[in-house]
Every structure is written in structure tokens, then in C-alpha cells.
Homo-oligomer: A and B are copies of this chain.
Amino acid sequence: MPKRPLILVTNDDGITAPGIRTLISVMNEIGDVVVIAPDSPQSGMGHAITLDSTIYCDAVTIDEGDQLEYRCSGTPADCVKMAISEILNKKPDLCVSGINHGSNSSINVIYSGTMSAAIEAGIEGIPAIGFSLLDYSWNANFEGLKKHIKKLALEVLQNGLPDGVVLNVNFPKTENDFKGIKVCRQARANWVEEFDKRTNPQGKEYYWLTGKFVNLDQGEDTDVWALENELVSVVPVHFDLTAHHFIQKLNSWDL
């Protein structure tokens, strides 16, 4: 671990969100921090990148911390690409994303801008962690997370991560301290959508996406289980989507 590691910080709730401000303050205790984060909320952006449009990226000062900061008009994945290709003059030692206002456990990892930024860093060979708190409110209390985030970041800086693996860390919402930290697998759950159908002032129908999260996974080794039991969940995540277990069977098909 370098004496003053270079740490890239980003998120999907936008550069002024309390979650990222907390994360920046913790990272300032560990290393030299550069923030490149969206200029507006980007929740649910998944791994979107900006192909057909321009991207702006401007230096800003938001508080009195030691970090350098840039706000970017792109998606979370764009922010990481921009950081690595344009802003930083060396590869960061760590990328942290979040703290997301809301859970990114289970299938939410797929829709999450927070996790897409961490995964993008992982694709670039940078150890990365996405942090999320199971509290969607803007004024969520992040105070109790700080010591755990610092410890996890130091562990990753110390031990590194295997090529192609990043961490998805979710904190339960609780008044007390957490009951512990649990290494988990992603629960097999999904959203059951309910579109809220309305009529606009011109008489045209439109929809709002809403839904209920449904977890049918009874395992006690999942991130959802951990959060329900006041444990911090840590899921190692990779971006090799190959379903290796089905390759042999698929080879027996008449293709």
C-alpha cells in the first residue's frame, strides 16, 4: 500500500449528495482524493455510457476538504472513464463509489449507477468498492458507517482484489451499531413492476415506473438476508457474465 494512495471518488446521486460528501471526508483521512461525480442524480442509470452526446467536466470547490473535485455531465461510468483518461495523471490505487442513498443489494446491482462506476473501475484494473445505505432519504444518517468504510478501504488497499472483482457493500438502516459484517452472495430477487398510468394535460397517456421488491431466495448467505439481520453485507462482484455452469449442456444442443 502506497503511503498516500490516490483515491478516486464518485457516485450516482450527484456530487452534492450527503452520501458522497461523507465518503470524501473518510477518504481524505486515508489518501489523496480526486472526486469526479455526476452534476445531477443518475440513479437507475445501470452501466449506461454517453455515446451520442457531449460530456462536460468542470473543476469545482464544494467544501473545505483537501480533495480535488470535478462535476461531470455524464453517467457514473462516464465519470470513471473521464477520470482515468483525462483528469488523473496516474492510475488511482482505489476507486470508491457512493455512499448511495438506497440499497444496491441483490438484483439492484444491475440497475445501480453506484455499482456501475465501481465495476467500470474494476474493468480498468482498479480495486473498487461501491457503498450503499438502505435508506433512500437525502438526510440519511451516514455517521455510523464511517469507521467501517475506512476499515474496508484500508483492507482493500492492503490486500488488493483479484482481477475482475470489485466489492458491493450495503449497510442496513439501524439506530444501533451493526451486528457485524458478512461476506454474502447476491440474492435471487427481482422487482415486480406496477406502472402508474396517468393522463397528461393534453389527454395523452403516460406511465411512471413503480414496483415492489420481491425476494424468494431463502438462503441465509445472501445480501438481503444480511441486511434484514442488521449485518453489513459485502458481496464480491465480477463482470464476467458467462454462465460457465451452462456451457457443457449448451454444447450438447444441436446448434
Residues of A within 8 A of B (CB): 41, 43-52, 54-57, 74, 77-78, 81-82, 84-86, 107, 109-111, 116, 119, 123-124, 151-152, 155, 159, 161-165, 168, 181, 183, 185-186, 188, 190, 193-195, 197, 200, 204-209, 234-247, 249-251, 253-255
Contact = CB atoms under 8 A, between A and B. Distances in A.
B238 A50 contact: no
Nearest to A107: B123
11 contacts: A55-B207, A55-B208, A56-B204, A77-B111, A168-B241, A183-B251, A186-B241, A188-B240, A236-B250, A238-B242, A239-B241
A247 B235 CA distance: 8
B49 A206 contact: no
A163 B151 CA distance: 37
Contacts of A206: 54-56
A40 B190 CA distance: 27
A214 to B, nearest CB: 11
Given A54-B208, A234-B250, 4 more contacts: A46-B116, A54-B200, A110-B119, A185-B242
Given A111-B47, A239-B110, A240-B188, A234 B255 contact: yes
Contact of A195 (B45, B82, B253, B254): B82
Tell me the number of copies of this protein.
Answer: 2
Q: Which 8 A-B pairs have the closest CB atoms?
A: A46-B47, A238-B243, A236-B243, A46-B46, A44-B51, A236-B246, A48-B48, A185-B242
Given A51-B43, A247-B183, A124 B242 contact: no
A51 B12 CA distance: 13
B251 A242 contact: no
Contacts of A52: 41, 43-44
A70 to B, nearest CB: 12
A223 B20 CA distance: 38
Nearest to A113: B48
A200 B56 CA distance: 10
A250 B86 contact: no
Given A244-B185, A247-B183, A85 B46 contact: no
